[in-house]
Amino acid sequence: MVSPNKNADLGALLERLLAADVTFVLVGGLAAVAQGAPTTTFDVDIVPALDKENIERLDQVLRELNAYYRRPDSRIIPVDAHALARGGHHLLVTELGALDILATIEKQQGYEDLAQGCESIEFRGYQLSVLTLQQMLSLKADSSHEKDQQLVALLRAMLAGGADDE
């Protein structure tokens, strides 16, 4: 889990990505929060389109935000477009907070898979593609991780209309 950064501004981080025309689907805790989930998160999780032009735009934003890989030691390894283009998971620190760039999430779902059913919401004048609560539930339902099971219970309550009762 990412430690909270007192200077983190996850909204500004999202806005920078959107302003640079980076194509992605917002997933994870912030996607749930964006749809009204009463939970907290300390990072932005995205699944980007992996085409060359999008990776170049993403790389430019990451350079502007002085992004580097989160590591258990103090070594700073900056991000580069070649690493991003290879896919995988890139767990980063930026000037605006933690950013997890994921080529795929559960069930090996990548951008093309997720974008088909995602929700588009208005965010600071931009259209933000967000994994729906139903998609999250479908992807997390079989997880054995405690954190995921807590999210599954919350999502089920929200989808049943009972989140306000908690």
Any idea what the CATH number is for the domain that residue 40 is in?
3.30.460.40
Domain coverage including residue 43: 10-131
**Element of type H or E holding 52:** helix 52-64
* Residue 72 maps to a domain: yes
* Residue 1 maps to a domain: no
* Residue 101 maps to a domain: yes
* Residue 75 maps to a domain: yes
The Cα 59–Cα 94 span in angstroms is 12
Could you read off the pLDDT tens digit of each residue along the chain, which spans 166 residues?
344 466 789 999 999 999 999 999 999 889 999 998 888 889 999 999 999 999 999 999 999 999 999 999 989 999 989 999 999 999 999 999 999 999 999 889 999 999 998 999 999 999 999 999 998 888 888 877 888 788 878 888 888 985 444 4
* Residue 153 maps to a domain: no
What pLDDT score was predicted for residue 166?
Answer: 43
* Residue 149 maps to a domain: no
The Cα 164–Cα 166 span in angstroms is 6
* Residue 163 maps to a domain: no
The Cα 162–Cα 148 span in angstroms is 19
* Residue 138 maps to a domain: no
Number of domains the chain is built from: 1
